[in-house]
Amino acid sequence: MRGDNKRIGVLTGGGDCPGLNAAIRAVAKTAMLNYSMEVVGIKDGFIGLIENKYSILNYEDVSGILTEGGTFLGASNKANPFKYADLSGKTKDVSSVVLNNARILRLDSLVCIGGDGTLTVAYKLYKKGLKIVGVPKTIDNDLMATDATIGFDSAVVTATEAIDKLHTTAQSHHRVMVLEVMGRYAGWLALCAGVAGGGDIIIIPEIPYDIKKVCQIVKERHKRGKRFSIVVISEGARPRGGKMVVKKIVKDSAEPVRLGGIGNKIASDIESITGLETRVTVLGHLQRGGVPTPFDRILATRLGTFGCDLAAKGEFGKMASLKGRDIVAVSLKEAVRRNRQVNPRDPIIKAAMAVGTSFGV
């Protein structure tokens, strides 16, 4: 029996990233130590509420996980309860099952740690009566209403380290090196890693590139004695007047479009136009792995504790958000209204252009 204590659930949905365990720890420890709540860990994102997969968490379960990457609760990007695929591949709305299982679990509130897909589902469930609070995480950094998301800084560090390493091999073999990073429809990851790593050309979805301009920059560098170039490209980038490169469609996923392949396309174009040897590195899921950076550990702790506070106070339908140096509450509706993309007039872009970085236009 739980007595007068309340029961809070916590789940991690969508793609994994460094900092998720830190966020779970923050929610759970705050609930236990400050509100005497019982904490239910929902397994594998919303699948746990669809298939009733969960565990009651104790203090030891969430101790010693601050520095661990990934999420010990598991995650899934194929768990949209409003469009859930059964074994035959047919999709149906099982949101009522989620609400019923939440009642069976006697959840007084649920903290959803996720990106735009997870939090869009969370907002829909909130409108159906589930008492939900959101905590933002995504390496894409594309959520509205927050200045930063859990996992982004760690992914930037991984991508920057890759650029650092590509510099030495590019210089040794006098090659053009193309690095394709994640980010979906937003260029934050390519932009920040490209600037931090000294990329010569950075290509992002928000600024469609001109392949002639890209090749011109590469050839001009070669003539000046810079016999290598580093091109950092976001997976969602596209040529001017062209389309994004779609790797495949996953029909039973909340995010069915899988981008990928733009790095190979632009490398082939550069090599055929300039005659310069060009190689491609696709970082892929390396960007999601590893331990969280100190920034992400701190951010996850602040957002997680604040999210638990919101749930304890009954402030549902909201998301914990970083605004400047402060953590504040914003509406889930605002957070998932649209993707947060890079403004072509962003100060980071202006600074990069001032030191000679090209954006392929």
Q: How far apart are CA 257 and CA 339, in angstroms?
A: 15
CB 156 within 8 Å of CB 192? yes
Distance of CA 344 to the CA centre of its chain: 21
Beta-strand runs (E) in the chain: 7-12, 38-42, 54-57, 84-85, 91-92, 109-114, 132-136, 176-181, 201-203, 229-234, 246-249, 257-259, 278-282, 318-323, 326-331
Give how far the C-alpha of residue 145 lies from the chain's centroid of Cα atoms, to the nearest Å: 15
What span, in angstroms and rounded, lies between the C-alpha atoms of 41 and 37?
13
- Taking the mean position of all CA atoms in its chain, how far away is CA 205? 16
Per annotation, catalytic residue among 16, 116, 140, 153: 140
- Buried/exposed 223-255: b ≥16 CB within 10 Å, e otherwise: eeeeebbbbbbbbbbbbeeeebbeeeeeebbbb
Tokens of 176: 């053009």
346 tagged catalytic? no
Query: Kind and range of the H or E element at 171?
Result: helix 152-173
Specify the DSSP class assigned to residue 253: S
Active site residues: 140
